[in-house]
Amino acid sequence: MKVLFANKFFFRNGGSEVVMFQERDHLLGAGHEVVDFSMQDERNVPSPHAAFFVGRQDYRGGAGKLGKLKSALSLLHSSEAVKRISALIRETRPDLVHCHNIYHQLTPSIIGAAKKLGVPVVLTLHDYKPVCPTYNRLHDGKPCSDCLDGDFSHVLRNRCAEGSRGKSALLYAEAVVQRMMGSYEKVDAFIAPSRFMQESIAHRVPGDRIRLLYNGIDTNAVRGSGEDGGYVLFLGRLVQEKGVETLLRAHARSTAGWRISIAGTGPLADELMAKYNPSNFVGYVAGDALKAMIDRASVVVVPSEWYENCPMSVLEAMAYGKPVVGSRMGGIPELVEEGRTGLLYEAGDVDALTAALDRLMASPELRAQMGAAARQRVESAFSLDAHNAGLMDIYKSILGT
């Protein structure tokens, strides 16, 4: 089997790249062939197909009005991406194209290019772009479902793109153009990493073309030490929708005296450090240092206030044998078993979050019990082996093999 992976970043930029590289490595390890299609970037890992990658685009606008116009038009439809992926397909003859994060720099127009050449297409849904022009289903920082019925004009009325009329108009135009082109309608199979995502996208495409496949984690490569360092850990971007301020308010409200570590950076960093104890913030952490922080944590908190899909942070915590306290948002309740592998609370409810963390931090025995159950659950339901097996089943069903 030969699979062409299309993703706008060819380095580990976020969760979608983690998943894509995991799948790519599996195929190579199983003796299959892979073809890469992405955007040129000095951070890219080596690829024999780099000559076909599109030029780098950051969409901050070119010099003057003409440059900005060209950037806007390429966001709607990238003729360069269509030309280059078509040439790559003709040269390598893949059996199928698997798209991950293709929006803006590659654009969904590459779906039609592949189909025109007779190659089936699979698209993994890392976000809500087919049913939300801004991809995140947020309006003024709050969860939103306005565009699920297909009326994308809400993005204009609400100025959903950073409050900007111009940016919102561009994203509205992008959604309308892609619907006119039938880009998503041409996809043979969508991969939804959560039931919540599956149900959301079913508003746009037939449900029988959406396959549920949770993200996976290599449990064989993760072995927690069993250490409990006595602190609550948050890891992620410091943005409103991640709920980090709700967590900090819960910590401030608690009288139990437990410690907290905030690992990450983002636009709210300075504001939050000015309002709360700056010693609780450890900044950006990655690699072995991040693994050690998770391994020593007592509890990992995912207090998201947007519709999370299948957050890798939950799976990583479970793999290290840590209980997870998570909000009832998006796909989080599908991962965390209430009262067995962690605790759930209503998003934004400071008192409920405080009570959940007080309960867990008061009982090392309960933390150990839930952590062991979390490890058992991730091994049985969210292992990388299970993900890869499900992926191959999807490929075979599309190819009729």
**How much is the pLDDT for 77?**
76
More confident residue, 355 or 174: 355
| Across 315-344, average pLDDT | 97
Fold classified for 2-216+384-399: Rossmann fold (3.40.50)
Distances from the Cα of 266 to the Cα of 68, 141, 238, 244, 272, angstroms:
26, 15, 4, 11, 10
Burial of 337 (0-12, 13-18, 19+ CB in 10 A): middle
Question: Beta strand pairing status for 231-235 and 299-302?
Answer: parallel
Residue 300 DSSP symbol: E
Give the three-class secondary structure for 210: strand
**How much is the pLDDT for 388?**
97
pLDDT confidence bin for 377, thresholds 50/70/90:
very high
Residue 311 DSSP symbol: -
pLDDT at residue 105 tops 90: no
**How much is the pLDDT for 162?**
86
Domain locations along the chain? 2-216+384-399, 219-381
Range picked from 134-143, 156-165, 300-309 for highest mean pLDDT: 300-309
| Across 151-158, average pLDDT | 92
Token pair for 339: 């009262």
Rg (CA), the chain: 22
| Alpha-helical runs (H) found in 30-153 | 64-76, 79-92, 109-116
**How much is the pLDDT for 74?**
65
Question: Beta strand pairing status for 2-6 and 96-99?
Answer: parallel
Sign of torsion, CA 159 161 167 169? negative
Range scoring the smallest mean pLDDT among 65-79, 234-248, 259-273: 65-79
- Mean pLDDT, the chain, integer: 93
**How much is the pLDDT for 331?**
97
Query: 54-104 pLDDT, tens per residue?
Result: 998 765 544 444 445 455 566 677 899 999 999 999 999 999 999 999 988
**How much is the pLDDT for 330?**
96
Are the beta carbons of 216 and 388 closer than 8 angstroms? yes
| Across 335-361, average pLDDT | 97
Sign of torsion, CA 231 217 302 325? negative
**How much is the pLDDT for 64?**
47
CATH number of 219-381: 3.40.50.2000
**High-pLDDT (> 70) share of the chain, %:** 96
| Across 280-301, average pLDDT | 95
Question: Beta strand pairing status for 189-192 and 121-124?
Answer: parallel
pTM (two decimals): 0.91
pLDDT at residue 329 tops 90: yes
Q: Do domains 2-216+384-399 and 219-381 have the same CATH topology?
A: yes
pLDDT at residue 138 tops 50: yes
